[in-house]
Amino acid sequence: MTDKRRVTVREVMKLQYDLVDGMMSVQDALQAMKYKNNKSLIVEKRDENDEYGMVLISDVATKVLALDKSPKRVNIYEVMTKPIVTVDPEMDIRYAARLFDRYDLSRTPVVENGKVIGIVSYTDMVLKGMCEIN
């Protein structure tokens, strides 16, 4: 048994993320990105009964660039993953890491009361959770 303190997703998540409309073209969405270091876009819900989506830079590379499609003519909804797994900000990062492994995730939105409040990745959990807090 270790005496390590419990570290939550809230403590390590990034507060900067890009939320885009699924109807945007890939080109417009990429140009609108404020936080390019996140390597992802969170796709807004269409209404309160909808779910969030996500587009990774790798999705754009494999579904647009590699297929030689025009980013001006491909909409975000065509390359996004939806629905996506989200995590609660109070989740222990050890459980979040297990969830990432189980569902082959690299990053996911942090959702509280039905709203995105951040984004968390393996990098955040390891570098902020294991290295800085211990």
Residue 49: the pLDDT is 93
Give the domain extent around 25: 9-132
**pLDDT at residue 83, as a whole number:** 96
Residue 97 domain-assigned (yes or no): yes
DSSP assigned state of 134: -
Query: Residue 1 domain-assigned?
Result: no
Q: Considering the domain boundaries, does residue 3 fall inside one?
A: no
The three-state secondary structure class of 105 is: coil
Question: Phi-psi region for residue 62, left (φ > 0), alpha (ψ -120 to 50) or beta?
Answer: alpha
What are the average pLDDT values for consecutive 10-residue runs of the chain, which has 134 residues? Answer: 77 96 96 87 94 96 97 97 97 96 96 96 90 60
- Cα–Cα distance measured from residue 65 to residue 88, given in angstroms and rounded to the nearest whole number: 33
Q: What is the pTM of this model?
A: 0.88
Please indicate, yes or no, if residue 2 is contained in any of the structural domains: no
Residue 4 lies in a domain: no
Flag whether 45 is in a domain: yes
Q: In this structure, what are the phi and psi dihedrals at residue 117, rounded to the nearest 5 degrees?
A: -120, -5
Task: Decide if 104 is inside a domain.
Answer: yes
**Distance between start and end Cα atoms, the chain:** 15
Cβ atoms 51, 108 nearer than 8 A? no
- Domain CATH for 68: 3.10.580.10
Q: What is the pLDDT of residue 37?
A: 81
Q: Two tokens at 132?
A: 């800085």
Q: Which residues pair with 107 in a beta bridge?
A: 121
Q: How many domains does the structure of the chain reveal?
A: 1
- The residues, any chain, with a CB within 8 Å of residue 15's CB and separated by 6 or more, are 117, 118
Which residues does 96 contact at the CB level (< 8 Å), separation at least 6? 9, 87, 120, 125
Paired tokens of 94? 């050890």
